Amino acid sequence: MQDDDLITVLDDEGEGALAPVETGWPVLIVDDDEEVHLATRYAMQTFRYLDRAVALTHAHSAAEARAILASRQDFAVVLLDVVMETQDAGLQMVRHIRDDLGMSEVRIILRTGQPGYAMELEVFTSYDINDYRTKSELTQTRLFTAVISALRSYQQIRTIAENRRGLEKIVHAASDLMELRALGSFAEGVLIQLAGLLRLPVDGIVCAQRGAPTGPADPQGLYVIGAAGRHADLVASPLSRVDAPGVVSAIEQCMQARQHLFAPALTVLYIRSGESEGAVYLQTDSPLAATDQQLLEVFAANISSCYGNVRLVERLNYVAYHDGLTGLPNRSCFIRDLDAVARAGEQVVIALLDLRHFADLNDGLGHDVGNALLKGVAARLLERLGGACRVARIGADVFGVVGPEAAVNPESLFEVFAQPVDAAGNHLPLSITLGFCRVLGEERSGLALLKSANIALNRAKRSLSESYQYFVPEMEDRSRWRLEIINRLRTDFREGLLEVWFQPKVQLRGGVCVGVEALLRWPGPEGGFVQPPDVFIPLAEYSGVIVDLGRWVLDSAAAIYPALRQSIPGELSIAVNISMPQFLGGGFVDEVREVMVRHGLPRGVLELEVTESVAMEEPKAVIGSLAALRDAGVRVAIDDFGTGYSSLAHLRELPIDCLKIDRAFIKDIAGGEGGMFAETIVALGSKLGLTIVAEGMETEEQAGFLRGLGCGVAQGYLYARPMRLPDLLAWLASRPRH
């Protein structure tokens, strides 16, 4: 044959091109007759099918063919000689290709030199042989038609197989993606699956969705939720941060048109489930084949429902772990973070931060301003501590911070709120109380750590002098004990085990009894008392039990009026102690009026004792109620006067009838200073026209001193201890009357 050059060229083309898809249809010729090789090559020179030539690979024996097939199997067609080394070498070759190598797609054309050789029909069908020709039949035209029909059938088989493989992958991808709960890993999974589907490197791909992945930042904005390859570091940032205008505009175009975008070098898939929309961008470098496009459409439809599920789970997670108002992590999330911190053995400090008087600000300025203030506090905390610490909203007006001691300490945190906080245009100065708990790498649950910090915070809130406290284990023992007392008080009260006792008040001149003070008692099962009022009243106030308890004391005290009236014909008052929570409940004034009516108390008999600190702490709330009570005929006394911080100016504003000098001053009378205080208070009280009652009167000396000052009434062990009603009535019977 003359075309040696051509042969070389063809050989060169075929050589080394492992995937010569673009260069020509890969065809393997197996024949022990060199003539056949040359003739075929020559005949196929002008061959074209779908604009592609053939790329021939030559094997001169079955053995050589096996060797070639061992290293590459991408042939579209094999032209196979039947008789080579042996009579059935070609048929063995067919078995090898189909059975051993599992090459089911390649088309096989058998050729034989002996026209009389009878091919077994069984071989023909079971080994999927396309054609069976004698070599003499292989004129150029016949060869062309045989190869074309083989290639056409090869291509159809390939397409079907590709589709099947693609669909299998999609089904797998979808079920794998279904498993992924987190949006980030879902997006990443999509990218990996797509890369596999299109045989692309995992790169050049960006996923975006409307709405920030971790919060309500810009609901219409596009954010990267997953990225791989060159865009990998952009995860969770706005799409605008992607430094490739082409990518950004392609994604925007897709989201706007709400459909897939297939461009020559890029593809953007539009995915949507309900309200959730997203786009998957991938760089393809060359146009996608029509079959690949179809696959991607099926893929997009499949992942859309996964996407919807993931978004839903994500949303539920977000709602479960975030505060709707500020967008900060909530209490559950904070506890989870603390769990992780404790597990990691990190040495950090937890701070709980309580906004003082938030309730007043909220009531006074309106809830909108209150909400704005909370958002302002959240923003301030994030701005100042967000880098080093985790910040959360733990309760209505309590925020949590956890981070290194250098950032989480009293000085730094007070400094954070040294400037007023912006709240809907108002610049509000804030004062805060802090509770700290150091995490020293010990094994404690997040919940336990939070509780400790909370105990410290409550300590700080109750303290008059300190605005922060660090947790120490003794606090916990104490708080457990306190909890037990509260629970027992609750049950004992419910079972009617508490009692109201009465202590007389007498006139310093003449010793006539002019009233009683009702005092709570908690008798124990073995005589004595479970706890004194000094201990359990503050706990009852702290836990709120005092509201029911106080209502019952008021009723019990008013109930003795008829009996008392018999024994005390003249001036008579029945005093009841009232705690702050009773005022705050609302409806207290009506309750008092109702009690007076029910027990037939005339005006001026019932006296309510309020401690100085109560009257001063929330003056506005209290003053209104006190004024209303006085209008209803109730006398108001300031209890423990002299121990608080009330200024004279304040005292003048308070609608009161009586001052009770704290027994601490009476006690000190013999020792100097106390006498001076008592003198000042008596003088002040007389000037304001108030009744003065001296508490804790134990000795004649004290009585004499106060009588000398012109103090009207006294109460104390000198006259009588608090007693049950029958004892009181017996005591009264032995006293001088008016």
Residues near ligand C2E (CB under 6 A) are 503, 518-520, 532-534, 537, 550, 553, 577-579, 609, 639-640, 663, 695-698, 715-717, 722
**Residue 433 found at the interface with Ca ion (CB under 5 A):** no
Tell the smallest beta-carbon distance from residue 437 to ligand C2E (Å): 32
The item of Ca ion, ligand C2E, none sharing an interface with residue 88, based on CB under 5 to 8 Å by kind, is: none
**What spatial distance separates the first Cα and last Cα of the chain, rounded to whole Å?**
152
Q: Which residue is listed with tokens 């947790």?
A: 471
Q: Which of 572, 567, 451 is nearest to 507 (CA)?
A: 572
Radius of gyration of the chain (CA): 47
The item of ligand C2E, Ca ion, none sharing an interface with residue 550, based on CB under 5 to 8 Å by kind, is: ligand C2E
Tell the smallest beta-carbon distance from residue 508 to ligand C2E (Å): 14
The item of ligand C2E, Ca ion, none sharing an interface with residue 450, based on CB under 5 to 8 Å by kind, is: none
Q: How many helices (H) and strands (E) does the chain have?
A: 27, 25
Report CA dihedral (613, 614, 617, 621) to the nearest 10 degrees. Answer: -160
Closer residue to Ca ion, CB minimum distance, 109 or 508 = 508
Q: Considering only residues 626-645, where is the footprint of Ca ion by CB under 5 A? A: 639-640
Per-residue x/- track, 569-588, Ca ion (CB under 5 A): --------x-----------
Phi-psi region of 285 (alpha: psi -120 to 50; beta: other; left: phi over 0): left
Closer residue to Ca ion, CB minimum distance, 541 or 639 = 639
Tell the smallest beta-carbon distance from residue 685 to ligand C2E (Å): 17
Closer residue to Ca ion, CB minimum distance, 131 or 609 = 609
Closer residue to ligand C2E, CB minimum distance, 72 or 494 = 494
Using CB atoms within 10 A of its CB, is residue 121 exposed (0-12), middle (13-18) or buried (19+)? exposed
Tell the smallest beta-carbon distance from residue 482 to ligand C2E (Å): 16
Which residues, listed in sequence order, are joined to residue 432 by a DSSP beta bridge?
Answer: 355
Tell the smallest beta-carbon distance from residue 363 to ligand C2E (Å): 24
Tell the smallest beta-carbon distance from residue 563 to ligand C2E (Å): 19
φ and ψ at residue 699, rounded to 5 degrees: -130, 160
Closer residue to ligand C2E, CB minimum distance, 215 or 532 = 532
Tell the smallest beta-carbon distance from residue 537 to ligand C2E (Å): 5
| C-alpha–C-alpha distance, residues 380 and 416, integer Å | 7
Closer residue to Ca ion, CB minimum distance, 609 or 679 = 609
The item of Ca ion, ligand C2E, none sharing an interface with residue 532, based on CB under 5 to 8 Å by kind, is: ligand C2E
Tell the smallest beta-carbon distance from residue 640 to ligand C2E (Å): 6
Tell the smallest beta-carbon distance from residue 522 to ligand C2E (Å): 10
Residues 6+ apart with CB under 8 A from 700: 718
Residues 6+ apart with CB under 8 A from 256: none
What is the biggest distance separating any 2 CA atoms in the chain, rounded to whole angstroms?
A: 152
The item of ligand C2E, Ca ion, none sharing an interface with residue 266, based on CB under 5 to 8 Å by kind, is: none
Residues touching Ca ion, count (CB under 5 A): 5
Tell the smallest beta-carbon distance from residue 567 to ligand C2E (Å): 20
Q: Hey, what are 245's tokens?
A: 């205008």
The item of Ca ion, ligand C2E, none sharing an interface with residue 533, based on CB under 5 to 8 Å by kind, is: ligand C2E
**DSSP secondary structure string for all residues of 319-371:** HHHB-TTT--B-HHHHHHHHHHHHHTT-EEEEEEEEETTHHHHHHHH-HHHHH
Q: Hey, what are 468's tokens?
A: 């922060």
Contact between 65 and 30 (Cβ < 8 Å): yes
Helix (H), strand (E) at residue 656: none
Closer residue to Ca ion, CB minimum distance, 330 or 577 = 577
Closer residue to ligand C2E, CB minimum distance, 410 or 538 = 538
The item of ligand C2E, Ca ion, none sharing an interface with residue 503, based on CB under 5 to 8 Å by kind, is: ligand C2E
Q: Which of 218, 201, 219, 193 is nearest to 307 (CA)?
A: 193
Closer residue to ligand C2E, CB minimum distance, 400 or 696 = 696
Closer residue to ligand C2E, CB minimum distance, 281 or 522 = 522
**DSSP secondary structure string for all residues of 97-120:** IIIIS---SSEEEEEES-TT----
Q: Which of 425, 323, 435 is nearest to 382 (CA)?
A: 323
**Residue 609 found at the interface with Ca ion (CB under 5 A):** yes
The item of Ca ion, ligand C2E, none sharing an interface with residue 537, based on CB under 5 to 8 Å by kind, is: ligand C2E
Contact between 174 and 306 (Cβ < 8 Å): yes
Closer residue to Ca ion, CB minimum distance, 337 or 640 = 640
- By the criterion CB under 5 A, which residues form the site for Ca ion? 577, 609, 639-640, 695
